[in-house]
Amino acid sequence: MPKLRSHYVCNQCGAESSQYFGKCPACNSWNALEEQVAPATTTAARPGAVRVGSRTAHQTPAQPKAALTLAQISDHPQSRLSSGYVELDRVLGGGIVPGSLVLIGGDPGIGKSTLLLQTANRLSQTYRTLYVCAEESAQQVKLRAQRLGVGEERGEGRGGRGQAAEGRREESGVGSRESGGGKTQNSKLSSLSAQSATQNSKLKTLPDSSHPTPHTPHPTPSNLYLLPETDLDTILAELESLKPHVAVIDSIQALYFSALSSAPGSVAQVRECTSVLMQMAKRQNITLFIVGHVTKEGAIAGPKVLEHMVDTVLYFEGDRFASHRLLRSVKNRFGATHEIGVFEMVDQGLQEVLNPSELFLGNRDEFSSGSATIVACEGTRPIVVELQALVSPTSYSSPRRSTTGIEYNRLLQILAVLEKRVGIPLSKLDAYVASSGGLSVGEPAADLGVAIAVVASFRDRVVDPRMVLIGEVGLGGQVRPVSQMELRLKEAAKLGFKQAIVPKGQVLPDLGMEIFPVARVVDAIAIALAGKKSTDESIDEAE
């Protein structure tokens, strides 16, 4: 029997160490080393033998490939696939790139599996799609799909046939699928219907030998296949046989590779499974969506190298007590990063929000003091957001500062500028700032809106609800220029805003809005709270 050998792997960077350290020697992360046990080999490695985990497999040395120039590489133009969601296509850079590997992370229960199940259903209308549910049984996915309406025929309502078929026993069927140029019989396929139990189901369950199903002819073959499996070898064999255009793996932490002795979800398993799936996606030109769990800090669980292996990394964000969800791109080899897509959670699943500015705007009829409106840019998308501030006397020795959707250190900096450069005493006052809808706004263009909202709350004044505030606040009290000004103003004009306070010196388009270019925060305060004034009058008003 070979001796067991222990080594330690960092769950942040994937670095290996022969002994345990409190801090990873490679990335300096504390308490990140996890013990991995593997049997030590006593035989010398033969030429062409590659050791994977606890097994040694013989591999023929690959012939070196000759380097090619750009002119020698043949062009194979490929069009992007439409996911059926405009918001998802926007985040991906214009659609799904064939052969790409997309990683989606998010908090538990935020809606990752719901989004991908609905996306797989829409893609199956045109493309052969495989959904691998590694954490749920087929019956559990079936119940969830029924609630989401997955499997309903397009173009028909829930009435008519659906009501007549309600309560009817679901049919089992035999379909056919292409496999390497031929057709193989797909036996034991149990259909998955919606709540209306329509006759033609759009979701099939791949064979499960432990639950035999009677062979009943299915009226129309489906393009959406369901595979409840955690063994990576079985999943790879199904990908080779089915050859789907799109496949969903839910989730990568539940898969295990039999060549490795570590437990599922460990660093070695997650890294190796992702590497094998990436090779399969590139070789077979299969688009793969992978669901990844997140840690308590909000990062995707597993080594950081996992994010470097994939083509696109998306984060599904949102407050579970709110209805809207944000899909944010943090890495994209085929498009812009920091793009966001907005969805709303309803009874039938997720619905896309095509105009998110209306979602993040408060009640425009009852505009209270301490409110200001800004235009934030997430990637290439401008979003109009309402900011709310509350300033009140503190009952403690040190005042409280609290933010929701705004960076905490940014608020402290703005409060210091207002006290030092404008003369507003805020050091003994509590300050609370929040963005409407809980949208996280991290760009400096929101500084001017935060400053105006704080001053408006301090003076108990109401800012014109038809005015937007755009600009970065410097430490000297200046209002600095920001990027994409024309895009921001066009979005504000489209929503009916009539006035805008912007930094001085930028080229501004003619959109029919009244524009107030300012160079100092004190001038912006005077215009926002008391109308347009001269420089001397604005200073007196601020003081």
* 197 and 221 part of one domain: yes
pTM confidence score: 0.72
Q: Is residue 163 part of a domain?
A: no
And the tokens for 327?
Answer: 């899909």
- The DSSP element (H or E) to which 485 belongs, if any, is helix 485-494
Average pLDDT over residues 410-428: 94
Q: Which residue has the higher pLDDT, 393 or 266?
A: 393
The residue range of the domain holding 247 is 86-152+185-354
Q: Work out the number of other CB atoms within 10 angstroms of the CB of residue 6.
A: 12
And the tokens for 216?
Answer: 């009943």
Cα-based angle 461, 484, 453 (whole degrees, multiple of 5): 15
192: CATH = 3.40.50.300
Q: How far apart, in Å, are the Cα atoms of 137 and each of 142, 193, 197, 229, 328?
A: 9, 16, 20, 9, 29
- The DSSP element (H or E) to which 450 belongs, if any, is helix 447-459
Q: Is residue 457 part of a domain?
A: yes
Q: Is residue 47 part of a domain?
A: no
Residues in the chain: 543
* 327 and 419 part of one domain: no
Amino acid 538: pLDDT: 43
* 292 and 381 part of one domain: no
Output DSSP code: residue 379. T
Query: Number of folded domains in the chain?
Result: 3
Q: Is residue 11 part of a domain?
A: yes
Domain boundary among 298, 327, 354: 354
Residue 335 CA, distance from chain mean position: 14
Cα pseudo-dihedral 77, 80, 81, 84, rounded to 10:
-160
Average pLDDT over residues 433-447: 89
Q: pLDDT, tens digit, for every residue of 311-365? A: 999 998 887 677 888 899 999 999 888 888 999 888 888 999 988 888 888 666 6
531: CATH = 3.30.230.10
Would the pLDDT of 407 be above 80? Answer: yes
Q: Is residue 503 part of a domain?
A: yes
